[in-house]
Amino acid sequence: MGHGLSCSRNPTELEFFMAVRAGHLAKVESSLRIYPDILYQTTIYGRLSALHIAAANGRLEVLSLLLSRSVHPDLLNRHRQTPLMLAAMHGKIACVQKLLEAGANILMFDSLLGRTCLHYAAYFGHSDCLQTIISAAHYSPVAGSWGFARFVNVRDGNGMTPLHLAARQRRPNCVHILLDNGALVGAPTGGYRWAGSTPLHLAARGGCLGCVRELLTWGADRLQRDSSGRIPYVIALKCKHGECAALLNPSSAEPLVWPKPLKFISDLSPDTKVLLETALMEANLLREKKILKGTMFSLPSPPHSEVKVDDDTGSEASDTELCCICFEQACTIEVQDCGHQMCAHCTLALCCYKKPNTATLLSSAPVCPFCRSEIARLEVAKTKTAEELDKDTSSKLRRPRRSRNFCEGSSSFKCLSPPVSSFGKLIGHKPADNSDLLDKS
């Protein structure tokens, strides 16, 4: 990328640029006092300004000093890359934030690959930088000129969106952030390389189980073909990614898909969203465990499965009101405006759909299963005290103390089996003959 400093015009400039790279604020200030014009000099080959060098190396104090001298935040190097691009490329989140505060343009394309700062943050897997740039896009001129959705799905010179790059480079956290902000899960590539490939094709090629899992959860179509007529399953087999191939096999059970089209889902509070996303992850992990069972692949247990619950926690949990649908999980979600409560797993069973085909989406929004009233929104259920539970009617059942020890055994999936069994009708389906899908690669 031409980030070296060896090609400087004279020793004074070289010393200045080295001080910027090392973050020696006093030396930089001294050089600027003696040679004010050095602020506008660049390296010979890469045409890197001091602002580029400070941003790429994460020198926030030096960067702030340079910006305070009225240096334009969108200076270009030889490849027409801005300091913001280099900061996103190297994961320097503080510099990214500072440049955005200074008015850096997030919608500039370099001449090397036709990429923006969003592409580089996704490609190199810097999820914090990615989230910061996306958040800035809501309030920047981009929202008014281009539109936020268009920016999130902007293509580079090879016809790849940031989601394509994140999936190909095995960046599941970036994949999740992009999908959560409106990235098109089924968009095909527009360039000559891997023509017609969706993010799921590229995740299958890279062999990243986390990326495949995220894409399927957000509705990626396992049957969509690339320009060569191949589905993601065939590509995973060709690249010898067995675990990914098992999940992408069209004859395997379909995953539950995040019900994004529902209005009350798009209006979820952060706490409610975390509860439902966790329940969705647990349900799909259980599905994956069943698919991989009996194969040479094993699914690692989530980190929280090793956490033990002490007696005090179990005693406190025994006073939690049970879900009146599954009678196993505690009520964690409250339906507004009627106030009825149920667990997150049953809420997902009510809202989720299976097939990632727009023709199969729910024709009407689901209603409360207790009173059949319209669901205005979902909130985290308020925990009732023991006295409030004692005043409840006999129809409000309590959870037996012995069933609350949900961490018995070596896997946390034991606690998911009863409630997730209600997903059986959603997940299970008769295997189809997919011989016509296994085209030669």
pLDDT of residue 209: 93
pLDDT bin (cut points 50, 70, 90) of residue 414 is very low
- Lowest average pLDDT, out of 133-142, 307-316, 352-361, goes to 307-316
pLDDT of residue 5: 58
- Select the CATH number that applies to the domain covering 263-291+308-427 from these four: 3.40.50.10860, 3.90.1150.10, 3.30.930.10, 3.30.40.10: 3.30.40.10
Evaluate whether 51 touches 57 at the Cβ level (below 8 Å): no
**Length, in residues, of the chain:** 441
Question: Looking at the chain, which residues constitute the CATH 1.25.40.20 domain(s)?
Answer: 1-104
Residue carrying the six token digits 């033990």 = 308
| Residues 96-114, mean pLDDT to the nearest whole number | 95
Percent of the chain with pLDDT over 90: 47
Q: Residue 257 above 80 pLDDT?
A: yes
Phi, psi of 296, rounded to the nearest 5 degrees:
-80, -5
Note the pLDDT tens digit of each residue in 61-83: 999 999 999 889 999 999 999 99
- Lowest average pLDDT, out of 103-112, 157-166, 270-279, 377-386, goes to 377-386
| Residues 202-211, mean pLDDT to the nearest whole number | 95
pLDDT bin (cut points 50, 70, 90) of residue 399 is very low
Q: Could you tell me the pTM of the whole model?
A: 0.77
Give Cα 26 to chain centroid, integer Å.
41
Q: Residue 334 above 70 pLDDT?
A: yes
| Residues 392-417, mean pLDDT to the nearest whole number | 41
- Top CATH class of 1-104 equals mainly alpha
Q: What is the mean pLDDT of the chain?
A: 80
Evaluate whether 64 touches 95 at the Cβ level (below 8 Å): no
Cα dihedral sign, 135-141-142-143: positive
Note the pLDDT tens digit of each residue in 269-311: 888 888 888 888 888 888 888 888 766 665 554 444 333 434 4
Question: Looking at the chain, which residues constitute the CATH 3.30.40.10 domain(s)?
Answer: 263-291+308-427
